[in-house]
C-alpha cells in the first residue's frame, strides 16, 4: 500500500495524527509519526503506552498527558518520524 492511501485510510475514523512541524521562512515541513515504527515498537514493548489493536490498526487509548509525554519522549528518534510532507508558500505576482 502506498503512503498516500495509508494516510487517507488512517483518517477514515475520528482520530488524531502526530506530527512534527518545522517552519522556516516560506517553507513548512510536516513529518508524521511512522506507523511501521509504532507497530514494531509496541510489539516489542506492549506496555509502553495504552493501546489496543483493531484489525491492522493501532488505537492509542492513553490520556492526553500520557500521549503528550510519549510524543515528547520519542520526538528525537529519527526513525519515529519519517513521512515528510514539504510545503512551500508561493507569493502571488502583483499585476498592474
Q: Which of 38, 22, 40, 18 is nearest to 30 (CA)?
A: 22
Residue 94 lies in a domain: no
Question: Residue 9 falls within a domain, yes or no?
Answer: no
Instruction: Say if 51 falls within a structural domain.
Output: yes
Number of domains in the chain: 1
pLDDT tens-digit readout, 63-87: 999 999 999 999 999 899 988 889 8
pTM of structure = 0.70
Measured distance CA(30)–CA(23) in Å, rounded: 9
Q: Any bridge partners for residue 32, and if so which?
A: 19, 83
| Residue 1 belongs to a domain | no
Q: Are 7 and 84 in contact (CB under 8 A)?
A: no
* Whole-number pLDDT of residue 44: 96
pLDDT tens figures, 28-58: 999 989 989 999 999 999 999 999 998 888 8
- Give the structural domain span for 38: 30-88
Q: How far apart are CA 80 and CA 47, in angstroms?
A: 17
Residue 82 lies in a domain: yes
The answer as to whether 42 is a domain residue is yes
- Domain membership of residue 46 (yes or no) is yes
Whether residue 7 lies inside any domain: the answer is no
Contact between 10 and 35 under an 8 Å Cβ cutoff? The reply is: yes
Amino acid at each position: 500500500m502506498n503512503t498516500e492511501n495509508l494516510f487517507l485510510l488512517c483518517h477514515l475514523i475520528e482520530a488524531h495524527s502526530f506530527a512534527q512541524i518545522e517552519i522556516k521562512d516560506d517553507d513548512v515541513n510536516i513529518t508524521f509519526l511512522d506507523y511501521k515504527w509504532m507497530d514494531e515498537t509496541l510489539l516489542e514493548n506492549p506496555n509502553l503506552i495504552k493501546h489496543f489493536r483493531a484489525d491492522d490498526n493501532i488505537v492509542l487509548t492513553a490520556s492526553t498527558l500520557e500521549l503528550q509525554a510519549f510524543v515528547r519522549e520519542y520526538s528525537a528518534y529519527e526513525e519515529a518520524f519519517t513521512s515528510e510532507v514539504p510545503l512551500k508558500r508561493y507569493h502571488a505576482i502583483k499585476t498592474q
